[in-house]
Structure 1
Amino acid sequence: MGSFTPSRLRLWLRSLEDRGLSAGYRRGIFAHVSTVFSAAVEDRVIRVNPCRARSVRAPRLEPRKVKPWPAGRIRAVQSELPERYRALVNVAAGCGLRQGEAFGLAVEDVDFLGGVVHVVRQVKLLRLHRPVFAPPKGGKERDIPLPESVAFALAKHLKRYPAVRITLPWKTLDGPPVTASLIFTGPMGLALDRNRFNDREWRPALRAAGVETGRDSGMHALRHFYASVLLDAGESIKAVSEYLGHHDPGFTLRTYTHLMPSSGKRTRAAVDGVFPFTTARTRPRRVLSPLTCG
């Protein structure tokens, strides 16, 4: 075990790449090897895990290019959902909330007058599909601008389906009880279960709208739509990252850089706005000296 130095691991990783193995497969192999070395460290067979050396890096996954849904597809899927769940689409596509965050959205989190949504919790399933309240992914709370169209959809929804006070344990099954007036609940007044919702509501709506079900057709597609709309409108990567709740703007840039509009037109307009535009007609005439006149 002690013979595996960082340099030897780097050569091994390079050999895996030269064999044409995918980045995902190589990353899985590396994770298993690192686990073995971690166990050896705990058993005091070796002092350190060579996989954690600074010069040894896990194979990096190639980011998949996100293909945002067109607005027409979103409206088609929304129209096929039961009415009590249609405003979920407005929240996810209009504010970029994750599915669990939309399920955990409470009336007290929405500032209708100030135009802000406070994302402070999600509904999370633990073992045996038992729900708990938990912080948003990464423990990062955030504030998101509330568009008027989303505010109107939420107000209309609450008028027909009033919020329900739900009490769930916080973070763990034996955690302290927390109560929130959830905007979206099931017909029995319970917090939404993502597995049941996806199986009984979301996928049937996809099929009815003629959308192929698969990896890229979950509610997460609505977050991609939200990001694409903001970037197309010229919003900064930093702002989009904050609104989506990403841990790093660099991750947002890597995920959505291909959706950013070309800056060429904006650059030309910016420069033309600073320097006066001149043509041949506006150039000063050459004044000829009598000495140069024939």
Structure 2
Amino acid sequence: MAQPRYIPDIVANVTLPSRATSMITKDPVNRPPGFIANCLRESGRTAAADDRPDPTTHPELPSRPPSTHTTVERAWSMASRWSAPLYERPGRQGPRLLGSAWVDGGRDGSSPRTPPTDPQSACRSSSVRAPKLDHRRIVPWQRECVLAVRSALSEQYRPMVDLAGGCGLRQGEVLGLAVEDVNFIDGVVHVVRQVKLIRNRPVFAPPKGAKERTVPLPDSVARSIEEHISQHPPASVTLPWRAVDGAPVTASLILHRDQGRPINRNDFNRGAWRPALEAAGVPLGRASGMHALRHFYASVLLDAGESIKALSEYLGHHDPGFTLRTYTHLMPSSEKRTREAVNRAFADGPDTDDGPTTAQGE
């Protein structure tokens, strides 16, 4: 997260939509990723650099100068309307930062905010409270559900289920997997890129969080990939790196469309994934996206006794604590592990020659 900083509040009457619009106009294709942070910083406020609301899809952006907003308007109008997805982020840092940025020192909303001398104070506010997290427990698919969806997909797309459900890859990472990333001899997959869409234009990019990783390759998934390659040879696909005007990068993608084109995830979701869900009797919705296969992967590993640390590395999470918070309810109960451990230790029963009855008989 970017370090908060302040600039003298000399442009407090510049509205955020006007500033965002001017920045987008400068580069309509590659929207500056931190434009909202720049908007706030240049008006004497602060925000996380990765908080990126899209004004083209959020017409309710505040249209009045920030200095005229009341405390409530400054805090929650922005946080609730712009950044609803941020509520689900670990630590709730997004709403806290965005909300604090809009609260003036007097707490009555009557006067423009004066930037404090301590930049860290931007992250604290006594009048703004972060929203409560919605503690929804993830319910992973059962094996039968995964196999049903896989069978409903066309043959060329079935390895996507195997890679996501058998290696824990994200959808973009599956689409960006090249044949040179798979080591069949050592039985590992190197996750080094993904296919992203920038305004529906594909680009290569590092995995989420720029976190490259190596995951085990199960034999069943290896056989699926080998069979797919024998029927659909990899194709050399060249895409720009990280931005539509980035340097071209070429990779021999395992999964691709005709004429060596990358698979567009939106087209795949609409034309292949959703029909497969309907055919398998799986309800449509956010919880039924391809990400559900990562949850299945996590549930299988935890049920087999894999550690949270290893699972976090395989999934590419930034912190094992996040993995633990997400999947702790899927871990076998301590009572069950205790019973099984003691049963194994006393598999043949305790030695009856050493006990209370022996001592009494002496």
* TM-score of the aligned structures, taking structure 1 as reference length: 0.80
2:257 to 177, 186, 199: 186
**For residues 196 and 240 of structure 2, what CA distance do their matches in structure 1 show?**
10
What residue in structure 1 maps to residue 360 of structure 2?
286
What residue in structure 1 maps to residue 26 of structure 2?
none
Shift of residue 270, structure 1, vs aligned partner:
4.0
Shift of residue 274, structure 1, vs aligned partner:
6.8
Taking a change above 3 Å as real, the CA distance of residues 54 and 141 of structure 1, as seen in their structure-2 partners, is: farther
Taking a change above 3 Å as real, the CA distance of residues 49 and 262 of structure 1, as seen in their structure-2 partners, is: closer
Shift of residue 138, structure 1, vs aligned partner:
0.3
1:197 to 249, 268, 272: 268
Contact 2:100 2:125 survives alignment (8 Å): no
What residue in structure 2 maps to residue 36 of structure 1?
102
What residue in structure 2 maps to residue 125 of structure 1?
197
Considering only aligned residues, what root-mean-square deviation do their CA atoms show, in Å?
3.2
Shift of residue 200, structure 1, vs aligned partner:
0.8
| 1:257 equivalent in alignment to 2:323 | no
Taking a change above 3 Å as real, the CA distance of residues 37 and 106 of structure 1, as seen in their structure-2 partners, is: farther
Contact 1:101 1:122 survives alignment (8 Å): yes
Shift of residue 53, structure 1, vs aligned partner:
2.8
- Partner-residue secondary structure (3-state), 1:75: helix
* Structure 2 spans left out of the alignment, 5+ residues: 1-8, 10-70, 77-85, 105-111
What do the CA deviations read for 1:159-197 (whole angstroms, capped 9, x no partner)? 000000001111111111111000001234311111111
Contact 1:167 1:178 survives alignment (8 Å): yes
1:108 to 162, 176, 180: 180
What residue in structure 1 maps to residue 18 of structure 2?
none
What residue in structure 2 maps to residue 52 of structure 1?
123
* TM-score of the aligned structures, taking structure 2 as reference length: 0.66
What residue in structure 2 maps to residue 93 of structure 1?
165
Contact 1:51 1:57 survives alignment (8 Å): no
Contact 1:34 1:49 survives alignment (8 Å): no
**For residues 201 and 268 of structure 2, what CA distance do their matches in structure 1 show?**
14
Taking a change above 3 Å as real, the CA distance of residues 268 and 209 of structure 1, as seen in their structure-2 partners, is: closer
Contact 2:96 2:123 survives alignment (8 Å): no
> 2:154 corresponds to which letter in structure 1?
P
**For residues 184 and 160 of structure 1, what CA distance do their matches in structure 2 show?**
11
Contact 2:164 2:294 survives alignment (8 Å): yes
**Where in structure 2 are the equivalents of 1:1-294 lying within 5 Å?**
24=87, 32-36=98-102, 45-47=114-116, 48=119, 50-53=121-124, 58-127=130-199, 129-270=200-341, 278=350, 282-283=354-355, 284-286=358-360
Contact 1:64 1:255 survives alignment (8 Å): no
Shift of residue 60, structure 1, vs aligned partner:
4.8
Taking a change above 3 Å as real, the CA distance of residues 141 and 49 of structure 1, as seen in their structure-2 partners, is: same
Taking a change above 3 Å as real, the CA distance of residues 287 and 69 of structure 1, as seen in their structure-2 partners, is: closer
> 1:237 corresponds to which letter in structure 2?
I
Shift of residue 278, structure 1, vs aligned partner:
3.8
**For residues 150 and 49 of structure 1, what CA distance do their matches in structure 2 show?**
49
Contact 2:96 2:129 survives alignment (8 Å): no
Taking a change above 3 Å as real, the CA distance of residues 180 and 29 of structure 1, as seen in their structure-2 partners, is: closer
- Partner-residue secondary structure (3-state), 2:287: coil
**For residues 44 and 167 of structure 1, what CA distance do their matches in structure 2 show?**
49
Contact 1:231 1:260 survives alignment (8 Å): yes
User: How many residue pairs end up in the alignment?
Assistant: 266
Shift of residue 45, structure 1, vs aligned partner:
3.7
> 1:33 corresponds to which letter in structure 2?
G
Taking a change above 3 Å as real, the CA distance of residues 182 and 57 of structure 1, as seen in their structure-2 partners, is: farther
> 1:184 corresponds to which letter in structure 2?
L
Stretch of structure 1 that moved more, 239-248 or 277-286: 277-286
Shift of residue 30, structure 1, vs aligned partner:
5.3
What do the CA deviations read for 1:116-152 (whole angstroms, capped 9, x no partner)? 000000000012x011100000000000000000000
> 1:234 corresponds to which letter in structure 2?
G
**For residues 33 and 208 of structure 1, what CA distance do their matches in structure 2 show?**
44
Which structure ranks higher in relative contact order (CA pairs < 8 Å, sequence separation ≥ 6)? Answer: 1
Taking a change above 3 Å as real, the CA distance of residues 274 and 176 of structure 1, as seen in their structure-2 partners, is: same
Overall identity of the aligned pairs, in %: 57
